[in-house]
Structures are given as C-alpha cells and as structure tokens.
C-alpha cells in the first residue's frame, strides 16, 4: 500500500524557518518525481515545487512566490522528501501536501502557521 506521511508542521514566527518531511512507502521512491502543493486556509491548491529523481538529474523547480526561500530535497536511502522553508511570512500559512508526479497519491497534509 502506498503511503505518504508529512510531518514537521507547526507555528513559526515571521522570518523564521521550518522543515517539512514526507515519508514515502509502498512504491519505488528513488525513481519518483515528487511535488509539494499547498493550500492556504479557505483557498485553492497552489503548486510549490518539484524534485526529479536522481536518475533524471535530481533538479528542482519552484513557483515564483517561494523561489529563493524554499528548498526541496530528497533522501532516497530513507525514502523521504523534504521541504526546507525559510524567510517565512504570513502568506505561507497553509496545509502542505506532498504528492507523486502522477498525483495519484497524496499525503494527508501538514499545517504550517506563520504568526507572531
């Protein structure tokens, strides 16, 4: 059974940093392209960014609002995807989902609240 489990969410002050994790199981994580998608309270889905598999170069792409502040990485030895967030502001408050490139599988989401 495929599972994606996010962790690491919480309350952080403006300007602060936070790292989210997404533990994957049930599929060959090392060849999967993975994405982060977020959803602000009461708002729609917003793509955050993507990391390719290492065999495809392992490169990353980001949406304009997070580029330069967020970093996506992966640890294939532990089947884990990461989202390092820095320079957080109140507009980053959202539930963050990890998903596979097919978008067939999604995690349950991790809530990040940026507030003083």
Residue 33 or 84: the one with the smaller Cβ distance to other proteins is 33
| Closest residue by Cα to residue 20 from 107, 115, 116 | 107
Residue 11 or 45: the one with the smaller Cβ distance to other proteins is 45
**Binding residues vs other proteins (CB under 8 A):** 35, 37, 44-47, 50, 61, 63-64, 97, 102-104, 106-109
Residue 6 or 12: the one with the smaller Cβ distance to other proteins is 6
* CB 72 to other proteins: min, Å: 13
Whether 3 and 26 have beta carbons less than 8 Å apart is answered as yes
* CB 16 to other proteins: min, Å: 26
- Whole-angstrom CA distances from 3 to 9, 76, 87, 93, 94 are 18, 15, 30, 24, 21
């Amino acid at each position: 059974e495929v599972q994606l489990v996010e962790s690491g969410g919480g309350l952080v002050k403006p300007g602060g940093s936070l790292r989210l994790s997404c533990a994957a199981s049930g599929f060959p994580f090392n060849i999967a392209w993975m994405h982060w998608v977020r959803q602000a309270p009461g708002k729609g889905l917003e793509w955050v960014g993507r990391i390719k598999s290492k065999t495809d170069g392992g490169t990353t792409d980001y949406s304009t609002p997070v580029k330069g502040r967020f970093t996506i990485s992966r640890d294939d030895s532990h089947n884990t995807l990461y989202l390092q967030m820095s320079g957080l502001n109140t507009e980053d408050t959202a539930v963050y989902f990890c998903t596979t490139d097919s978008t067939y599988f999604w995690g349950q989401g991790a809530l990040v609240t940026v507030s003083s």
